[in-house]
Amino acid sequence: MSDAQTRRIQVDLSGKVACVTGAGRGIGRAIAVTLGQAGASVACVDVNLEMAQETAATIRSFGKGQAEAFPCDVTDSNQVNATVESIVEKFGGLHILVNNAGITRDGLLLRMKDEQWDAVIAVNLRGTFLFTRAAARYLIRAGGARVINIASISGLMGNPGQANYSASKAGVIGFTRTVAKELASRQVTVNAIAPGFIATEMAHALGEQALEEIKKRTPLGRLGDPQDVADLALFLASDSAAFITGTVIRVDGGLAE
Ligand code: NDP
């Protein structure tokens, strides 16, 4: 167990139902497992069913809340609507939505293909919209519900080679701020987490040399661990975060200005 996995705030989410998209691996898996360890019942949503099933099995092994995998492509409106209905039918409600599914298709602007642009906007931005819209009426009924959107520091400060990704994540931040205002009167909080570079397959796709450079530029001198992000998600999901809405919180080791 890494250092990051051993330190954890104590939060009791028993009786709460959480839905995490992109829960099959990386940050989404860490968030789903962490919410499950805190006692939530967790719907593990991923386009890759097998990976989501593994996450759900891990959560069930804690013997706390329930967990089940739901195969779903977050870009597909019909699938998203049907998945949210299935989750509510299975668990009886929905209190916490974590929009985490995300992809990169990096390339410099002059060489960026339409498909690269469209794919990234579809998963990162449209997916967040579709899931939040489908979940909203259940979140409103839950009383004190949470939406946690995984953005990126790329959406705050830009990053060469990521015009599509930066635009999608800046879009997620604007979406977060607006929906926070729309749902505030129903006591639903909506916040974004902006991770820096976190050690997952997505970051490792950049290559080891680039990652060494990033570590040097990061004031805290390391890549983030998925657990660093999951711990903030756990706090935002907790009752302690009830008065926090419409914010973007960086988990980046001090990298962004
Ligand atoms: P990973 O690539 O490790 O995991 C992403 C997960 O999302 C995978 O399980 C993937 O499934 C799933 N997914 C992809 N497309 C879809 C889709 N259309 N519908 C449903 N699920 C889908 O990424 P990370 O864990 O690194 O990233 C998680 C989030 O954090 C993303 O939003 C990312 O942008 C953000 N982030 C990551 C950073 C990092 O450094 N890692 C930094 C800043 C933000 P499959 O296995 O089939 O691909």
Q: Which helix or strand (DSSP H or E) is residue 155 part of? A: helix 154-157
Q: How many CA atoms lie within 13 A of 155 on its CB side?
A: 28
How many helices (DSSP H) and strands (DSSP E) are in the chain? 11, 7
Considering only CA atoms, which of 205, 186, 209, 239 is closest in space to residue 106?
A: 205
CA–CA separation, 146 and 98 (whole Å): 8
| CA–centroid distance, residue 248 to ligand 1 (Å) | 19
- Within 10 Å of residue 103's Cβ, how many Cβ atoms? 17
List residues near ligand 1 (CB under 6 A).
21-22, 24-28, 46-48, 51, 72-75, 100-103, 123, 150, 152, 195, 197-198, 200-203
Q: What residues are paired with 96 via a beta bridge? A: 18, 146
- Which residue numbers are catalytic? 165
Q: Which domains does the chain have, with CATH numbers?
A: 12-251 (3.40.50.720)
| CA–centroid distance, residue 142 to ligand 1 (Å) | 27
**E-strand stretches of the chain:** 17-21, 41-46, 67-71, 96-99, 146-150, 189-195, 248-251
Q: What is the pLDDT along the chain (257 residues), one digit of tens a residue?
A: 455 556 678 999 999 999 999 999 999 999 999 999 999 999 999 999 999 999 999 999 999 999 999 999 999 999 999 999 999 999 999 999 999 999 999 999 999 999 999 999 999 999 999 999 999 999 999 999 999 999 999 999 999 999 999 999 999 999 999 999 999 999 999 999 999 999 999 999 889 999 999 999 999 999 999 999 999 999 999 999 999 999 999 999 999 97
CA–CA separation, 194 and 210 (whole Å): 20
- Within 10 Å of residue 161's Cβ, how many Cβ atoms? 16
| CA–centroid distance, residue 202 to ligand 1 (Å) | 7
- 142 vs 81, 88, 113, 172, 189, CA distance in Å? 18, 11, 42, 23, 12
pLDDT in the model for residue 164: 98
